[in-house]
Structure 1
Amino acid sequence: MSVTVENVRTTADPLRIAVVIGSTREGRFGPTVADWFVRQATRRAAVRVDVVDTRQVELPHAFGASTDHPSLPNAAETLSRADAFVVVTPEYNHSYPGGLKNLIDAHHTEWQAKPVGFVSYGGVSGGLRAVEHLRPVFAEVHSVTVRETVSFHNPWGSSDDSGALIDTEGAEAAAAKLLDQLAWWGEALRAARAACPYGK
């Protein structure tokens, strides 16, 4: 039997997933992809989703700079209470956006000992080169990245009049596998952190 969110969580004790929108550009496609994934995740009764939009988080512009910004504590609180993360990222020049790296670097313990999944979009590669560059970054902040990903290849124009993605049957199957893996790791690592706080 596959392990799903419902297998390991109850609605009274939901798996909290923070969905991180990585792009900050004008005209970005990220919110469309993020909205689609949020709908997939919230079909599961034992899931609660928060969204962290990198564009709406005022971040320091250099590593080690002051993090005394009015919106940064709110992002930190959302990331801290999450059991798992899903990063929605485009591919820029064969890698991921600089603003996303800034968000990752501006936090530390919030990421530790938690699983991270990826939903990517881009041209012919579907953003997968960005994902492969992000894996070692998250390893360095002590997160565990799951194997399954969701990728959208050349998705621009693949939406209806409301802006919602269409023809997503394959992506929905991939999202289900991603959510199953996040559930397993989210529960296992939550129990481990409760038994022995990470880094202690």
Structure 2
Amino acid sequence: MGSDPLNVAVIIGSTRIGRVCDTVGAWFAAWARRREELAVEVLDLARYAFPGCYPEEATPSMRDFTSAVGGADAFVVITPEYNRSFPASLKQAIDFAYDEWQAKPVGFVSYGSGSAGHYAVEQLRTVFGALHAVTTRDWVGIDLLGDDVDEHGRPRDTDGRVRAVGAMLDQLTWWGHTLREGRRAQPYVS
């Protein structure tokens, strides 16, 4: 599907102190970088100085994030599940961009205590659908209460988890190349 690598932004969605989101994100990014057809960039929301209130004019951090989203062909959102939803920091960042998400695929790696982040993913599917993005069917879920992670919060490379990563990346890559070619052939109409 073309020789240009697919630009994939891995978005670290939690900004909490003591989070494992960055550990889970680094683990996933290492798996994604094994694929030669992908150029992976990690966007850690904790590294952006986003404003507490939505300003009348975009701040430099907001513009930097929106530019990175605009330059990506596909996304993988790393998210915890907080109270059967996803973090406010992630929703705020998603809302800074609009057109930049359109006609691009989004995959998910989620974690939680018992649910493996299922509820967060289902809510994010609705949000990204409203932004005209396509979400992959398969996702990677990690249960923090079981044996899914080691003592440092790093996901264990079980056969099932490696298969889940592969399936999600296969779908993300297919959608990423297909939608990129579609956007090049004709601008997306929302």
Deviations 1:19-60 (A, max 9, x none): 011111000000111011101111011110011111122224
| Residue 116 of structure 1, CA deviation | 0.4
User: Is 1:16–1:47's contact at 8 Å kept on the other side of the alignment?
Assistant: yes
The match for 2:73 is 83
In structure 1, how many angstroms separate the alpha carbons of the residues matched to 2:57 and 2:86?
A: 22
| Residue 198 of structure 1, CA deviation | 1.2
The 3-state SS of whatever aligns with 2:75 is strand
The match for 1:3 is none
| Residue 166 of structure 1, CA deviation | 2.8
RMSD of aligned Cα (Å):
1.9
The match for 1:121 is 111
1:3-18 counterparts in 2 under 5 A? 8-10=1-3, 13-18=4-9
Distance 1:87 1:155, change over 3 A: farther
The match for 1:137 is 127
| Residue 77 of structure 1, CA deviation | 1.8
User: Which letter does structure 1 place at the counterpart of 2:5?
Assistant: P
Q: Does 1:69 align with 2:82?
A: no
The match for 1:4 is none
Q: Does 1:40 align with 2:31?
A: yes
In structure 2, how many angstroms separate the alpha carbons of the residues matched to 1:185 and 1:92?
A: 29
The 3-state SS of whatever aligns with 1:148 is coil
User: Is 1:87–1:119's contact at 8 Å kept on the other side of the alignment?
Assistant: yes
Q: Which runs of 5 or more residues in structure 1 are unaligned? A: 1-7
The match for 2:40 is 49
User: Which letter does structure 2 place at the counterpart of 1:38?
Assistant: A
Runs of 4 or more, structure 1, over 3 Å off, are 60-63
Q: Does 1:58 align with 2:49?
A: yes
User: Is 1:61–1:102's contact at 8 Å kept on the other side of the alignment?
Assistant: no
Q: Which runs of 5 or more residues in structure 2 are unaligned? A: none
| Residue 66 of structure 1, CA deviation | 3.1
| Residue 70 of structure 1, CA deviation | 2.4
The normalised TM-score by structure 2 is 0.92
The match for 1:191 is 181
Deviations 1:115-168 (A, max 9, x none): 00000001110001000011110011110111000000116883367x643343
User: Which letter does structure 1 place at the counterpart of 2:137?
Assistant: R
The match for 1:176 is 166
The match for 2:18 is 27
In structure 1, how many angstroms separate the alpha carbons of the residues matched to 2:171 and 2:2?
A: 13
User: Which letter does structure 2 place at the counterpart of 1:139?
Assistant: G
| Residue 110 of structure 1, CA deviation | 1.1
Deviations 1:54-102 (A, max 9, x none): 1122224345x33532222221221111110000000000100001000
User: Which letter does structure 2 place at the counterpart of 1:27?
Assistant: G
User: Is 2:66–2:96's contact at 8 Å kept on the other side of the alignment?
Assistant: no
User: Which letter does structure 2 place at the counterpart of 1:39?
Assistant: A
In structure 2, how many angstroms separate the alpha carbons of the residues matched to 1:23 and 1:30?
A: 6
The match for 1:166 is 156
The match for 1:104 is 94
